[in-house]
Structure 1
Amino acid sequence: MGRIKKKGEAGNAKNFITRTKAVKKLQISLPDFRKLCIWKGIFPREPRSRKRVSKSATSSTTFYYTKDIQYLLHEPLLRKFREQKVLEKKISRALGRGDVTDASRLERNAAQPEKTGKPRYTLDHVIRERYPTFVDALRDLDDCLSMLFLFANLPSTTTVPAKMIARCERLCFEFQHYIIVSRSLRKSFLSIKGIYYQANIQGEDVLWLVPYKFNQRVVGDIDFRIMGTFVEFYMTLLGFVNFRLYSSVGLRYPPKFDKAKDDEAAELGAFKLEGNNALAASSQAPAQVTGGADAETGPDPQTQAQVNKLIRQMREADVEGDEAEVEAGEEETAVDAIDKFEPVAPGGDVLPQPSYSGEETESLFANFTFYLSRETPRQPLEFILRAFGCKRIGWDAVLGGGAYTTDERDPSITHQIVDRPVIQAASQKEDGGDEGETSQQLASNQRMPGRIYVQPQWIWDSINDGELKRPDLYAPGAQLPPHLSPFVQNTQGAYDPTMPLEQQQPEGEGLEDSDEELGEGEEADDSLAVKRIEGAAEGMDLARSDDEEGGDGDNGSFGGFSDDDNAAGEDDADESEDEALAAELQYQRELEAELTGKPVKRDTASPQSKAKVEARKRLAKQAKEEAEELERAKGMLSKKKRKLFEQMQYSNNKKSAEDQKLRAKRRKLEKQKTRAKA
């Protein structure tokens, strides 16, 4: 005889455990249990049947896997939590006895990160457990960077201490320095939420969001304890990742931090990168690395002389081989050409085209010197420009320290980023005028000759397209091109802001806005007449007979006539219907004139309005025929396939309706522009 199984000791009742039982089993408080679950990656589970798991289970009961809770019993952090709980009990007991001296002694012995800076515990072992390989850590870096950049911009409060904000900001700057040195930044997008960045780090695409530099208002309905738990874990994770990334490019971690420059708001300029002695010679980014003791001393004179001798010999050999290289140049060009993959069918999927290398894109701004006006966002512009090769960036002194130059009249500046409206007329100050609070020396409408002035969007569009855009399209005061997200792939048939409106809108879509184009007077009356005719056509069915509403023939023929005869009969019926509607409209006008005592308004429609009316009738007839053909085709499908087809048709109609709204909005804007120019 087998063992008798008792209820609640096997199956789902044993596989799941409630949160209350889990907290009691671990002997910790509920906040510590939440911390532990977040750090270890354990989350609630939903059983298939709550009745089988527990009789008293309600909709608010939270379940966990029993094996997950059993796994937490061996966690070293439990001992730290229990020690902290015991210490808090001792302090409260001493205060209850009135022994303030003993309570203060216990408090001094306790680890207080907000005062001493020493953590109560470390999460290093948790990082090693959750991310066994470095690629796993890179794949989970999106949320980590977004959260840390968010907390780096928050104001310090009681729930968000200043030391946490400072550490988040420092980790973010260290990560940005690696992106600059390794030239890993690929794309960026300006959105309402903030600025999106995408970087390719060791073959993995990392996308994160950075909020704008505005004054943040901290509201009370946000649980910063839960967010702070995630931030504490992410700070440890990013510290590990930064160390590994810096080591991979031959940099010492952590970089030297200059407190004086940081007080001047230098931000990225407050960090000094140094190369390791073993990897400094093989580093691929010497321009961004500041050497230590080796950089201060010059090279050996004998070694330098031998190097110069070898260089002269190589130059002589190059001169002799120039002729041979010129002859073989054409053949090498033909051999080195990269194959292009083009779609066979028109409108097919466009395959990504290969390229030689990304060195040209990575050094897009290497040959330029930029100056940032004081109204432009300095932090994102400096980061993007440096990540794409620019080494000389100046800005106004009010934006902080660390600039290449603060003189706006510097002749070495090739591009200036401005974001202020163009002033047509402004009073020029004399040389003896009062000096302003800033170091800006030019008036708001004054321009330096030989310098290119562009708006900030020029930077983002250039790096997203991988080429320098035309500066005249982004000149100050110019109407900017649409700033599109580089992370969204255009689908066939969808609305594309870069294409002309005439190439992507279907035939007859702009006729709905034709009434707005008509002027006042007779053309407006004619448009009203057209609307009345359409309303009468929708509300009345005078010209249709019972035979037209329901036909017996399967092919649309009746009485042995052919389809051409039927089509001719339908055209005659439409013409008679239009004549009847026009006669009724004329009769309505005569009645209105008789009541008001005014002369009868004659139909003096212009040829343009008549052509539009004819086009509407033709499109309506065509749409009706297509709908009938579609209904006949659906009748040949099975029930299952018909439902699937209707679902596909619903989703396609929904997308087309959204695209139609965007096209209508664009038509309206273009009409406003043409009217403003006129």
Structure 2
Amino acid sequence: MGRIKKKGISGAAKNYITRSRAVKKLQISLPDFRRLCIFKGIYPREPRKKKKVSKGSTAATTFYYTKDVQYLLHEPLLAKFREHKAVAKKIARALGRGEAGDAARLEKNLIPKIKLDHLVKERYPTFIDALRDLDDALSMLFLFASLPSSQHVPAKTISLCQRLCHEFEHYVIVSHSLRKSFLSIKGIYYQATIQGQDILWLVPYRFVQRTGGDIDFRIMGTFVEFYTTLLGFVNYRLYTSIGLVYPPKFNAKVDEQGGELGAFQLEGKGVSTNGNTTNGDKPVVVNPEAQAIADKIATLPGTEEAESETEALAPVDGDEEENTEGIDKFETTAPDADILPQPQVTGAEAASLFAGMVFYISREAPKAPLEFILPAFGCKRVGWDASLGDGAYTTNESDPSITHQIVDRPALSDAEAMAVPETTNGGAAAFKAQWPRSTMPGRTYVQPQWVWDCINQGKLLRPDIYAPGAELPPHLSPWVKPKKGEYDPNLPLQLQEPEVEALEEVEEDEEDEEAASDAKDASSIESGDDMAAIVDRDSSVEAGEGMDVVSSADEEEDSESDADAGADEWEGFESDAESDVSEGEAARIRHQRELEAEATGMAIEPEAQTTKSKNAALRKKAVKKRREEEEERERQKMMLSNKKRKLLKRIEYGSNKRDTEAENLRRKRRRIEKAKAAANAV
């Protein structure tokens, strides 16, 4: 007989450990334990059977893997934390005795410096691993770069985050790695493709940030401390991979004047002072020692990344360039086939989107994102108003070299549409733009959304749709593709609404038109002139006038209307032959009605009546077809097992919910289009 095992010494109970036991085992405080777990990338775990792990207890407890805690025992940062704790005790003792000078000396000289370089190398063995985990790091650093300095967020941390973010943006600009961007409620989303990895991050808008008291800045500050180290490593590797010197030169005076990106000067092969690749310009003189180090790192053999980078930098023959100019486009073979995911644009195509254009950013437009996006897609010269900061190509709004101006103001009136010529000293007339009072001739004025829509679609869109004051098209997320059956704002309603819904809409329009015409007739009868005419007619009643005579035609029409009403109330066991009216029968009925109207002197619209009857027949046929499909589907459900029937029910619930949402969106769009058509008619 085997030995009986004790409860809680093997299995799940041994694989998990509570947080209190982990803190006691490591002999550190709870804040230091949280900080160490964030640095090492260790997170709480939820066991499958919590009762077995907690020995029958159901209290809320945080668990970790026992192996992870055992792994933390050998971490060198534990010694740093203990040294910091010992120095903190000495500082507290000195402050208790009133020795402020000794406390300051201890804090300056004895506080241990914590470096996280070994953790970055440990958590990310290859550079591709670091790029894959860069989304959260960039989002957090861009968030802290926009926060105001406070007691919890020191100014030193904010300036470090701003510097690292601007360095990363410069790399994206020079390498033309940016692919998509989206303006959302939370902020601006950017997606860049770097060495085959898609990196998506969020940048908040430049609003005044108000931080609440319910935010734990200690936890966020710990993440920022690790992410700054990570992004510093990534920026160094990215800069050296394309032959740039890291870190770039930083001009503090330009930054104080609002230069931001313009405060950095890149150095390297074929890079000008403004961070753009030179095209015939004189290159900047580079430090030979720094460039030798950069070249050595960029061409290191033995890794797949270095080989791919050297192949990308190596010159190719003319035939190969011709073959790699464009990327393949996947086309569907059938109209109802699935839409294949298309490959993204190349760096050369992104670099040529805004090439040859000169942009000017008005002072009401967002300068920071446009200053980043436009050069990333090939624009070499970007100017803005002097009030937005330093570093612009030009601050003169009347510069004749400007081809596009980004404005976000109402439209101009006809009297203010052209620029007022200003006479110079030489007698020649020079145009001076004073927006919104005047515009420069030959210049294109667009709203900021035009830039985002152009880069998301990979082509230049019509600027007249995005003119100042114009109603902009919907700005859709480039990462969400509409599926079959869902609402698509880009398509007209006729192409995406079902047949029954379209017929119902036609009938509703006809009923609205009839109600409007009846109301119009009633209002005309109630007018004074018509009432006077009726009174005069009543005073001179001749023989036969004023009596309601029901003709045979009226009797037939009443009987037909009663029959139609009965058919609408209950369709009964109707066959296809009875529901479908033949063309010959419809022509005979139409001809009979025309003869009766001619005999009685009544006005009739045969085409309208025929169209209405056809729509009713089509709608009845579509409803019947849909009912038959539902019945067939119910018969098929009966053949399924209970488990599969429940699964299908959940699937149908989600599908019906999506269909209802799409129908509501189509109905809302239909109301908006009707309101616009009525306003235009007026």
* Range class of TM-score, shorter chain: 0.7 to 0.9
* 1:346 is the counterpart of 2:335: yes
Structure 1 position 191, deviation (Å): 1.1
Letter in 2 for 1:670: E
* CA shift in 2, pair 1:336/1:83, >3 Å: closer
Structure 1 position 210, deviation (Å): 0.8
Counterpart position of 1:658: 661
* CA shift in 2, pair 1:289/1:174, >3 Å: farther
Contact kept, 8 Å, 2:433 with 2:439, in 1: the verdict is no
Deviations 1:602-651 (A, max 9, x none): xx999587777666555544443433333233334444443343333222
* CA shift in 2, pair 1:339/1:137, >3 Å: closer
* CA shift in 2, pair 1:668/1:266, >3 Å: same
Task: Give the distance between the partners of 2:85 and 2:445, measured in 1 at CA.
Answer: 62
Task: Give the distance between the partners of 1:355 and 1:220, measured in 2 at CA.
Answer: 43
Contact kept, 8 Å, 1:273 with 1:288, in 2: the verdict is no
* 1:505 is the counterpart of 2:501: no
* CA shift in 2, pair 1:102/1:259, >3 Å: closer
Task: Give the distance between the partners of 2:6 and 2:82, measured in 1 at CA.
Answer: 35
Structure 1 position 360, deviation (Å): 3.1
Task: Give the distance between the partners of 1:620 and 1:195, measured in 2 at CA.
Answer: 46
Counterpart position of 1:522: 518
* 1:48 is the counterpart of 2:48: yes
* CA shift in 2, pair 1:257/1:398, >3 Å: same
What TM-score, normalized to structure 1? 0.75
* CA shift in 2, pair 1:517/1:239, >3 Å: farther
Once the two structures are superposed, the pairs formed by residues 617-628 of structure 1 within 5 Å of their partners are 617=620, 619-628=622-631
* CA shift in 2, pair 1:448/1:102, >3 Å: closer
Contact kept, 8 Å, 1:261 with 1:269, in 2: the verdict is yes
Contact kept, 8 Å, 2:173 with 2:276, in 1: the verdict is no
Contact kept, 8 Å, 2:411 with 2:470, in 1: the verdict is no
Counterpart position of 2:60: 60
SS at match of 1:346: coil
Structure 1 position 397, deviation (Å): 0.5
SS at match of 1:508: helix
Once the two structures are superposed, the pairs formed by residues 348-363 of structure 1 within 5 Å of their partners are 348-352=337-341, 358-363=347-352
* 1:226 is the counterpart of 2:222: no
Task: Give the distance between the partners of 2:575 and 2:441, measured in 1 at CA.
Answer: 75
Structure 2: segments with no counterpart, 5+ residues: 289-318, 424-431, 523-560, 582-604
Contact kept, 8 Å, 1:495 with 1:663, in 2: the verdict is yes
SS at match of 1:293: coil
Contact kept, 8 Å, 1:123 with 1:233, in 2: the verdict is yes
Counterpart position of 1:632: 635
Task: Give the distance between the partners of 1:611 and 1:471, measured in 2 at CA.
Answer: 43
* CA shift in 2, pair 1:360/1:542, >3 Å: closer
* 1:201 is the counterpart of 2:194: yes
Task: Give the distance between the partners of 1:336 and 1:105, measured in 2 at CA.
Answer: 64
Contact kept, 8 Å, 1:152 with 1:165, in 2: the verdict is yes
Deviations 1:196-250 (A, max 9, x none): 1111101111111111111111111111111111111111100000000000011
Structure 1 position 401, deviation (Å): 0.7
Counterpart position of 2:407: 418
* CA shift in 2, pair 1:355/1:268, >3 Å: closer
Deviations 1:8-43 (A, max 9, x none): 333333222111111111111111100111110111
* CA shift in 2, pair 1:253/1:338, >3 Å: closer
Letter in 2 for 1:235: T
Counterpart position of 1:442: 434
Counterpart position of 1:30: 30
SS at match of 2:363: coil
* CA shift in 2, pair 1:356/1:181, >3 Å: closer
Counterpart position of 1:302: none
Counterpart position of 1:675: 678
Q: What's the Cα RMSD here?
A: 3.9
Counterpart position of 2:460: 468
Aligned mate of 1:155, from 145, 148, 154 = 148
* 1:71 is the counterpart of 2:67: no
Structure 1 position 288, deviation (Å): 12
* CA shift in 2, pair 1:610/1:265, >3 Å: same
* CA shift in 2, pair 1:130/1:339, >3 Å: closer
Counterpart position of 1:591: none
Aligned mate of 2:176, from 158, 170, 183 = 183
Deviations 1:115-156 (A, max 9, x none): xxxx83011111011000000000001111111111111111
Aligned mate of 1:454, from 441, 446, 463 = 446
* 1:389 is the counterpart of 2:389: no
Counterpart position of 1:404: 393
* CA shift in 2, pair 1:612/1:47, >3 Å: same
Task: Give the distance between the partners of 2:322 and 2:90, measured in 1 at CA.
Answer: 81
Once the two structures are superposed, the pairs formed by residues 90-489 of structure 1 within 5 Å of their partners are 90-97=90-97, 102-111=102-111, 120-275=113-268, 285-286=277-278, 291-293=283-285, 341-352=330-341, 358-424=347-413, 442-489=434-481
Task: Give the distance between the partners of 2:491 and 2:447, measured in 1 at CA.
Answer: 23
Structure 1 position 516, deviation (Å): 5.5
Contact kept, 8 Å, 1:181 with 1:288, in 2: the verdict is no
Structure 1 position 388, deviation (Å): 0.9
- My pick for the range that moved more, 100-109 or 38-47, is 100-109
In the alignment of these two chains, the number of paired residues is 570
What TM-score, normalized to structure 2? 0.75
* CA shift in 2, pair 1:475/1:508, >3 Å: same
* CA shift in 2, pair 1:638/1:50, >3 Å: closer
Task: Give the distance between the partners of 1:338 and 1:224, measured in 2 at CA.
Answer: 46
Task: Give the distance between the partners of 1:627 and 1:609, measured in 2 at CA.
Answer: 27
Letter in 2 for 1:365: F
* CA shift in 2, pair 1:104/1:273, >3 Å: closer
Task: Give the distance between the partners of 1:430 and 1:78, measured in 2 at CA.
Answer: 73
Structure 1 position 6, deviation (Å): 3.7
SS at match of 2:499: coil
Counterpart position of 1:305: none
Task: Give the distance between the partners of 2:91 and 2:667, measured in 1 at CA.
Answer: 70
Letter in 2 for 1:483: H
Contact kept, 8 Å, 1:416 with 1:451, in 2: the verdict is yes
Task: Give the distance between the partners of 2:123 and 2:476, measured in 1 at CA.
Answer: 37
